Structure formats: structure tokens, C-alpha cells
Amino acid sequence: MSRQITIDPVTRIEGHAKITIQLDDAGQVQDAHFHVTQYRGFEKFCEGRPFHEMPSLMARTCGICPVSHLIAGAKACDALLAVRVPATGVHLRKIMNLAQIAQSHALSFFYLSAPDLLLGMDAEPGQRNIFGIAAANPEMARDGVKLRQTGQKIIELLGGKRIHPNWPVPGGVSSPLTAEKRDQMLAMIPEAITITRRTISWFTSVLGNFQPEIDSFANFPTLFMGLVGKGNTLEHYDGPIRFVDRDRAIVADGLKHADYQEYIAEAVEPHSYLKSPFYRSMGYPDGIYRVGPLARLNLVEKCGTPLADEVLVAFREVDRGSSFHNHYARLIELLYAWEKIELLLNEPDILSDHVRAFASPNNEEGVGISEAPRGTLIHHYEIDRNGLMKRANLIIATGHNSLAMDRGVAQVAKRFIKGDQITDGMLNRVEAVIRTYDPCLSCSTHAAGHMAMRVQVLAPGGEVLSEVQRG
């Protein structure tokens, strides 16, 4: 008899979702889907509001990555004003964006995924959390807290508060940096670098234990998309968009932000509130692509900072088609973020008080694109002559990965789930593939609601046979 397994809610992710796994008569996995079950409507209720509110209003989509939304929103507003942000304003925004990426990567790695990596995919579920880490390896738990704190502290020093700082504004940032705060930030970097390097050594030492997961965690050919910096380096703030294929060969390059609708289209699936973007010229669903840490490292030749480039050499040897390696890429980006923040803080003009350009709205449409921790973030605003919002379109990093997450769930389920005896460890792997993307579902559906995720096994007739619910 065929059955359906439901994992609902999926845990240790941001936002809520469920997974359904369809079994056939022989108890083999037939299909599996990832459902995002929340709806919010930010694009709708911003209509009629003054566009100057947008960075802060849109940032309320999320408490984890408000800075990413502030940056993309402010950039979309720069385009409405048609101004060039002063160089120091750009540097300061970049520092905040990198601090955000660092704190979020630390959260994803240490708090959400390390329990699987340190304690094992089959460990007791009650232990698979940050407290379990603290019991098994107190230093690692402290490292995670320290790295997250460093990122958050930099955000606070720049913008006045850790969550929702209203500091990136249309035209730049609202206040310049002081020497005292710069020195405070610089003093935190060496320890953050030491911790990150220690974590990378540990991670590469245990990588061999996860070969079955590396082979099956969304390990399939797709395109990768993201921003690319000058000199073919890692970039999170600006720069043209590039698509590469499974072999890292360039499919499209130098794409302009304002034209994003020419190369990205969005499909709607009935089973999820999360839309599924695809590369337009390859159609749906063949235009499947991935964004995020792994994608970003697959796009470029080098990171552009010495220590990160050192570890990139070893990273190049791994199977870079597997989403499992998002963890690895995330750690390399963490290292890069600290190095890059240090470089930017040492820019000679970093204390300049010319941090903002002023203008009335000169364009009626503006697109702002930047890299959020989870991938490319797109804000697109349209305003009337008086500067009131007519329309907004957001494509959130997690959204780009929608197709790949859905397909990844099916791949893992087929590899690990055998119908007659379903263990928690099997189901945890199905959740863990989602965690490699570090999805932020509350952002990606711009929706409201409570947290968490569930796995369901369904019979061919649709009846629920088994269900795992957490949270």
C-alpha cells in the first residue's frame, strides 16, 4: 500500500514550511515536495506609501536579514532619485551588508546546521540544537555565539541598533562613521578571523563523514546566479549579474539589474506560497538555478582577499554541484567578510561626512539588487510623480532556490527513505537538505505567521500515513 509522510513543521530554518513525501505500493519514494505555508503581502500594503519609507518598511519582512532588505531597498530608491551614492556611503553600506552576511552565516552554520554536522544526522533529536552543541563541544558553541555577536555588533555600531537599523537610506546612509567606532570594529576582526579559520579546519576534517549526503543533497546540474565583482571576484553589494552552468561555464554575463525581468521569470506552483523563479530563456522548469554562498563561489575566479583565497583552493576540489557544500562556501564567505570589512574600514575616506546624496525622485521606476546571505535579493519599486508607491516587486534570495529545494527534497527522500522502516534520522536528512540553503521563508513569501516546518508521508489516495511535527 502506498503512503505519504509529512514533516511539518520543518525545524531549524527561518520561517515555516512542510515537506510531503509520496510512497508507492512497494514503499519506495515516488515523489516529494517542499511547501512554504505562509503568506504575507508586503508588496501590497506598501502601495500608496512614500518611497522614502521603503527600505525600513521592507526590512520589516525579516528579523534575521533586515540589513539585506535595507540595502536592496535603499539601492532601488537610489535608482528612483537617479543619484550616485558618495564613495564613503557605498563603503559604509558594504560594511553593514557584510556584517549582516557574517552574522547570518554564523547563525546558519553554528545554530541551525552544526547540530547535524557535529552530532550526526542520526543523533537524538532532543540534542540536535545549539544546547546539544554546547554540551558536546563548548568551544564550538562559544565560537558560534562570538561570530554572530561580532557581526551584530558591527551593525549596531554603524546603524545604532542590531535589528532594523534605519541607517541605509535613499541616497546613502544617514550618518557618517566616527574614528572611535571604526577602531572598535577593527579590534574585533582578528579574533573573528581566528575563529572562522578554526571552524573551517574542523569542517574540512569531518567532511569525509558526509559522503552519502554530499552525493544526494540537491546534487544535480543547475545554473548558478549572482553578482560578480571587478576582476572576477566575490561581490555582495553591486556589480553585474552572471549565470554559469553546472561546469561553471558562463551562460550569460554582464546582465543589468534594471533588466532583471528580461532574464528572470517567476512560476507559481499550487503546492506552495513561494514562487519559483527560473532563467527565462531556458524556460520552466529547465531554467532552474541556484543562488547563495555556493553559487557565488561557483561564479567567480577568486574571492579577492588573501585568507579566503587560500581556502578557496581546497574548496575547488570538492563536488561543487552539491548543495551540501553551501556549508563550506558559507564558512569561506564568513572569512572573506571579516577580511573585506577590515579592508573597507581602512579605506582613507571611510570617516568622510559625505555619505549621502540628495535629490527629488527623478525616475518612476527603480531596481535595487544586492547579495543577501542566502543569495541575490531584488527590490523593484514604481512610484507616481509625487513619490508615492504604485507597485513593488520583491524576489527574495530563498525564492530563487525554490525549484532546487523542491527537487533536492525528492532526491534526498529517494536516497534515504525506505518505506517499511522510517527513522527520525532519515527524515532529518530531508530537512537537512533544506537547511543547506539556509532558507528564510518569512522573507521569501513576504508573509506573516509563526515559525517552523513539518514532514508528511501520503498514500497515493492522499491520506496522511505518517507525520513528523516539531517546534
Partner 1 sequence: MTNVVTLKINDQDVSGRDDETILELARENKIPIPTLCHLEGLSNIGACRLCLVEIKGMNKLLPACVAKVQEGMEVYTDTERLQKYRRTILEMLFAEGNHICSACVSNGRCELQRVAQKLGMDHVRLEYRYDNRTVDASHERFALDYNRCILCTRCVRVCDEIEGAHTWDVMGRGVESRVITDMHQPWGESETCTSCSKCVQVCPTGALFEKGKAVSEMTKRKGFLAYLTSMREGLK
Binding residues vs partner 1 (CB under 8 A) = 48-50, 52-53, 55-57, 60, 164, 166, 169-170, 174, 358, 360, 386-388
Bridge partners, 228 (sequence order): 234
Give min distance, CB of 150 to partner 1, in A. Answer: 25
What is the number of other CB atoms lying within 10 angstroms of the CB of residue 388? 14
- Closer residue to partner 1 (CB): 83 or 223: 83
Per-residue burial over 108-128, b if 16 or more Cβ lie within 10 Å, else e, is bbbbbbbbbbbbbbebebeeb
SS (H, E, C) 257-316: HHHHHHHEEEECCCCCCCCEEEEHHHCCCCCCEECCHHHHHHHCCECCCHHHHHHHHHHC
Helices marked H in 163-279: 179-206, 211-216, 260-263
Residue 87's φ and ψ, nearest 5 degrees, are: -55, -40
Total residues found in the chain within this entry: 471
Distance CA 361, CA 366 (A): 10
Distance CA 114, CA 130 (A): 8
Give min distance, CB of 58 to partner 1, in A. Answer: 9
- Closer residue to partner 1 (CB): 167 or 260: 167
Give min distance, CB of 201 to partner 1, in A. Answer: 42
- Closer residue to partner 1 (CB): 174 or 204: 174
- Closer residue to partner 1 (CB): 49 or 248: 49
- Closer residue to partner 1 (CB): 205 or 386: 386
- Closer residue to partner 1 (CB): 56 or 466: 56
Give min distance, CB of 358 to partner 1, in A. Answer: 7
- Closer residue to partner 1 (CB): 63 or 190: 63
Give min distance, CB of 88 to partner 1, in A. Answer: 18
Distance CA 269, CA 157 (A): 42
- Closer residue to partner 1 (CB): 67 or 169: 169
- Closer residue to partner 1 (CB): 230 or 385: 385
Determine the 3-state secondary structure of 84 from DSSP.
Answer: coil
Burial class (CB in 10 A: 0-12, 13-18, 19+), 61: buried
Give min distance, CB of 57 to partner 1, in A. Answer: 4
Contact 158, 184 (CB under 8 A): no
Give min distance, CB of 85 to partner 1, in A. Answer: 14
Distance CA 291, CA 404 (A): 10
Give min distance, CB of 149 to partner 1, in A. Answer: 24
Among 254, 220, 252, 224, CA closest to 239 = 254
Distance CA 367, CA 208 (A): 43
Is residue 34 within a helix (H) or strand (E), and if so which, with residue range?
strand 29-36
- Closer residue to partner 1 (CB): 173 or 447: 173
Can you say how many angstroms the Cα of residue 349 is from the centroid of all Cα atoms in its chain? 30
Give min distance, CB of 20 to partner 1, in A. Answer: 35
- Closer residue to partner 1 (CB): 49 or 153: 49
Give min distance, CB of 213 to partner 1, in A. Answer: 40
Q: How far is CA 26 from CA 3, 21, 105, 468, in A?
A: 10, 14, 41, 21
Give min distance, CB of 382 to partner 1, in A. Answer: 15
